[in-house]
Chain A
Amino acid sequence: MAELSRLAVLGAGHAGPVIARLAIKAGYPVAIATSGDPEDIALITELVIPGARPRWAADAVADAGIVVLAIPLHRFLDLDPALLNGKIVVDAMNYWPASDGVLKPFEEGGSSEIVARRLAGSAVVKALNHIGYHELEDRARPAGAPDRRAAGVAGDDPAAATAIADLVDRVGYDPVRLAHLRAGRVLQPGGPVFGTVLSLPEFERAVRDDARSLT
């Protein structure tokens, strides 16, 4: 098996540890980081994300091929874009004003498009954002399982989107490639697949009309 990219998961709240565990199970080398000292999450990592390595964010990102953003969106605005230059960045965050409050910079357009504009030196792919963190692990299944579910992947850089579709597949979901980042708006809160866990045909049906309207 070819060596898998190193992953840096930024965020040790609700979603970060779940994504990190799934990636570890799929064979990816995973580092996890917050905005602070890795010592602060050493115990969390040992007990809740065994196999991951707690690191300073800059170190975790420097060594990674893929960076997963699993931080609250308002904290993203504090992140230095230069840190992520040249990386494939999975945007697993959501702009969800009903739950997290209104953020002015995200009021217009798709949240991942705004993330991508701030991260001009990175290849941003929207993925792993639309299945709840409390379900993402329980519903993951190996390829070919009859009850396997689907998950969306949207990015403008085809090579990056391919890498993340592969990641989604390896962690346990049938990847559904959307044409570009803008089409990933169907994966957002209020969109047709957000918060639901659908089979491949159900997922494709649900996003088809919406995605077409965005092309």
Chain B
Amino acid sequence: MSYTFGLDTFGDRNSDAGGTPLSHAQTIRNVVDEGVFAEQAGVDFFGIGEHHTDYFPMPAGDVALAAIAARTQRIRLGSAVTVLSSDDPVRVFQRYSTLNAISGGRAEVILGRGSSIESFPLFGYDLADYEELFEEKATLFAELLKGGPVTWDGKTRAPLLNQDVVPHTESGPFPAWIGVGGSPQSVVRAARLGFSLMLAIIGGPPARFAPYSELFQRALDKFGRPPLPVGVHSPGHIAATDEQAKAEFWPRWRDIIALVAEERGFAIPTEESFDAETGQHGALYVGAPETVAQKIATNLRALGATRFDLKYGMPGLTHEQLLTNIELYGHQVIPRVRELLG
């Protein structure tokens, strides 16, 4: 079995060692350095999630990915996620096809709603239309990925008639995933449209997603498609010891969840709930390299997944803490997980 290990960021705004937030611009430059450093540490994939907030100032991740592409040779680069519903699928295809050209075929895209919704009012979309927007645009994106002229008609953008969309890719479609948070109907949609499945697991026992993996493969079969990979995206933080990782991560996790709790319906974390989530059966990968590696291996096995993307960082952590996280993930966690999975 071949496994892939990635890192995802939302452009979490860095602070300096004294706790003062860095500028948006400096945070973005740091993300570019982190992507380059991830390749040096042996990480397979580096993803940037679209966000539009003061604490995640990362609305144009593809531009940052292009900068990383220019300074790397091997690491795969992609969105994590692209909020397709409030974007134009043609433009998304063009941007990532351009990234694919710059990087010599290393682009990927993960489509979804992501963990935030601020792009809807920003670009003039109604959240009540979310389902229809995503369904139509994901269908069009699947057509665009095939290459060749596209004919499409729908309610959410202008029709296309035998339209050649450039730039063409050199060697067929680049990898494309749909990120799913817990709706089985979304799992079936990913299979129907031929996207790989990225399970976004940010709370509760990851093993409860196991039926979704089987649902995905069975649905692919039903739609006459070959098997496609299942991945897991989860938040975490790695430091030298469990205690240090938790001490660095906890106050930032508490603050960010408290901030988004109202719009996402999250409970405000307590130290008790944090201990549960960072424990053996929780969704957070916070700890020393061995702790995190054991947890990743266990959950990849339980979920029949071959890809793990650690969403690293949190607003308020320092660039140096993030570099340490990346170094430990690349040099210790990934080799150890490969060893555990044999």
Contacts and interface: CB of A to CB of B under 8 A. Distances in A.
A145 interface: no
B264 A99 contact: yes
A43 B219 contact: yes
A134 B199 CA distance: 14
Q: Which of B120, B184, B204, B215 has the most CB of A within 10 A?
A: B184
A43 B185 contact: no
A48 B204 contact: no
A96 B158 CA distance: 30
Contacts of A194: 265
B211 A103 contact: no
Contact of A99 (B127, B131, B204): B127
Contact of A72 (B120, B131, B181): B131
A94 B265 CA distance: 11
A99 B263 contact: yes
Contacts, number: 79
Nearest to B125: A101
Interface in A110-164: 132-135, 137-138
A2 interface: no
A128 to B, nearest CB: 14
A29 B63 CA distance: 53
B208 A137 contact: yes
B266 A195 contact: yes
Interface stretch (A9-17, A84-92, A207-215): A9-17
B266 A74 contact: no
Given A101-B127, A190-B262, A48 B211 contact: yes
Contacts of A12: 184-185
A134 B218 contact: no
A43 B218 contact: yes
A72 B188 CA distance: 18
Nearest to A100: B127
Given A99-B127, A138-B204, A44 B184 contact: yes
B2 interface: no
Contacts of A101: 120, 126-130
A43 B222 CA distance: 9
A14 B263 contact: no
Given A43-B219, A189-B265, A14 B130 contact: no
A169 B325 CA distance: 45
A12 B186 CA distance: 10
Interface string B200-241: 000111001001101100110010000000000000000000
Contact of A100 (B130, B261, B268): B130
A133 B203 CA distance: 11
A96 B212 contact: no
Interface residues of A, number: 33
B183 interface: yes
B44 to A, nearest CB: 28
A135 B188 contact: no
A47 interface: yes
A98 interface: yes
Given A101-B126, A195-B261, A133 B182 contact: yes
A72 B132 CA distance: 13
A197 interface: yes
Contacts of B261: 195
A44 B130 contact: no
B92 interface: no
A137 B265 CA distance: 16
Contacts of B182: 14, 133-134
Interface string A188-209: 0110001111000000000000
Contacts of B129: 101
B117 interface: yes
Nearest to B202: A134
A138 B267 CA distance: 14
A16 B157 CA distance: 31
Contact of A135 (B117, B184, B204): B204
Contacts of A103: 128
Interface in A46-65: 47-48
Given A13-B185, A197-B267, A134 B204 contact: yes
Contacts of B183: 13-14
A43 B217 CA distance: 11
Interface in B82-97: none
Contacts of A14: 181-183
Contacts of B222: 43
Q: Please give me the 5 A-B residue pairs with the lowest Cβ-Cβ distance, nearest first.
A: A101-B127, A101-B128, A98-B263, A44-B184, A47-B215
11 contacts: A34-B185, A44-B184, A44-B188, A47-B184, A99-B117, A101-B126, A101-B129, A135-B204, A135-B267, A190-B262, A197-B267
Interface of B: 117, 120, 126-131, 181-185, 187-188, 203-205, 208, 211-212, 214-215, 218-219, 222, 261-268
Given A14-B182, A40-B188, 16 more contacts: A12-B184, A13-B185, A43-B222, A44-B185, A47-B211, A48-B212, A72-B131, A98-B263, A99-B117, A101-B120, A101-B126, A132-B265, A135-B267, A194-B265, A195-B265, A196-B267
